[in-house]
Structure 1
Amino acid sequence: MIKILLIESELSQLFDKNNFLECLENNGYTVLVAHNTPEGIHKAKSELPDLIICNIVEIELNHHNPPKALCEFSTKAIVPLIFAIDKMTQANIRKAMEMGADDCISKSCTHKELLNAIASRLDRLVFLRQWCAAQLEKNLLD
């Protein structure tokens, strides 16, 4: 079963408003919840989720600290990271991508948009894992 880690300091902002948590659970995902970035990094290391969705506020995009730490873990672990952004401006999307996010969604996105973003990132993850396995096998045979 695919595990998704949701990081949100104010549960009402991401989960209750759009029922992301319920949507993911109803679509067969195992959902882990963290209430802040440090807790999220700890859970990511201990639970090894297949994908991380993190609520990012504009202040964090401007200061880079908590999201950057999460992106650094995500990159090392090859875990897709989706930022849920309140203000989907081109500047905020660009900052998120520069920080290491694999995708950005609006906090007000539909369930279909959320599920499509997740499916897209998970498809890419499968491709990367297959490519890495093929490269490893090739190097072992050489």
Structure 2
Amino acid sequence: MKILVVDDDPRLRDLVRTALKRAGHDVLCAADGTQGLTEARRSTPDLVVLDIGLPEMDGLEVCRRIRQTSQVPILFLTARDDEVDRIVGLELGADDYVSKPFSPRELVARIAAILRRTSGAAPAETRRHGRIALDLSARHCRIDDQPLSLTGTEFQLIAALVGAANRLLSRAELANAVWGAGAQQSDRTMDSHLRNLRRKLAEAGLPDAIETVHGQGMRLGHCG
């Protein structure tokens, strides 16, 4: 896979580049936000590793601009005390984040998990629920035959809910379906992705598509 690393710390860039190359990836690098945005548009990477605290243009703005034209997976690098930035980043469409300082092995593992979710082969199958149609092989979502632009994580969430039909999914079941059994994801991370998904469904005319039953879980409503 082709991975773009955007970070202004040359030592960290070298560390990440080395770890990703050892994992078999092609790696491109950029030292500031403006250069990172230009490289993302020019090279169409399979995933972007994006620092939040960048010169020229911060990582949040880079993410926002990338999301205007692309659903490429984005993993944020954040400082430990930047909880607000992490939440904002997820709401802008990032797929995951890793806090600094981090283990290169953890970063490589997180990237591998994202790539499995977003580019792994899926059976050629279409699932429907009311006005929602999912193409699992192409990872496309349509509402009334109109495309709905979703990140990889958002697609996994809607696919899990559609697959469960009218059955309630607990938060743990939903997390396992999206990130895999045993994955460590905070409630805030899931809430951010669900909030984004709900907003996009509402903008497509399905404001009450995801129903929450307090203390039990969530499911898709009628969506007719």
State the TM-score, normalized to the length of structure 2. Answer: 0.50
Q: Deviation at 1:44?
A: 1.0
CA distance in 1, matches of 2:120, 2:22: 25
Bigger RCO (CA 8 Å, 6+ sep): 1
- 2:82 is the counterpart of 1:77: no
Task: Give unpaired runs (5+ residues) of structure 2.
Answer: 123-134, 146-224
The residue that corresponds to 1:49 in the other structure is 45
Q: Deviation at 1:93?
A: 2.0
The residue that corresponds to 1:100 in the other structure is 93
CA distance in 2, matches of 1:69, 1:41: 6
Q: Deviation at 1:25?
A: 0.9
Report SS of the residue matched to 2:63. helix
Q: 1:76-135 deviations in whole A, cap 9, x for unaligned?
A: 322100111122553332122123221110222112210121011111211598736376
Higher share of residues assigned helix: 1
CA distance in 1, matches of 2:84, 2:140: 36
The residue that corresponds to 1:133 in the other structure is 138
CA distance in 1, matches of 2:2, 2:118: 13
CA distance in 1, matches of 2:66, 2:48: 11
Which structure 1 residue ranges, 4+ long, deviate > 3 Å from structure 2? 127-130
CA distance in 1, matches of 2:49, 2:115: 12
What RMSD, in angstroms, separates the aligned Cα atoms of the two structures? 2.9
Amino acid at match of 1:54: L
Cα 1:127–1:71 change in 2 (3 A) is: farther
The residue that corresponds to 1:86 in the other structure is 79
Report SS of the residue matched to 2:13. helix
CA distance in 2, matches of 1:29, 1:45: 19
**What is the aligned residue count?**
129
CA distance in 2, matches of 1:92, 1:118: 20
CA distance in 2, matches of 1:33, 1:95: 24
CA distance in 1, matches of 2:69, 2:121: 13
Amino acid at match of 1:120: A
Report SS of the residue matched to 1:133. coil
Amino acid at match of 2:48: I
Higher share of residues assigned strand: 2
Aligned-pair identity (%): 26
Q: 1:56-85 deviations in whole A, cap 9, x for unaligned?
A: 12x88xxx9652233331463221001111
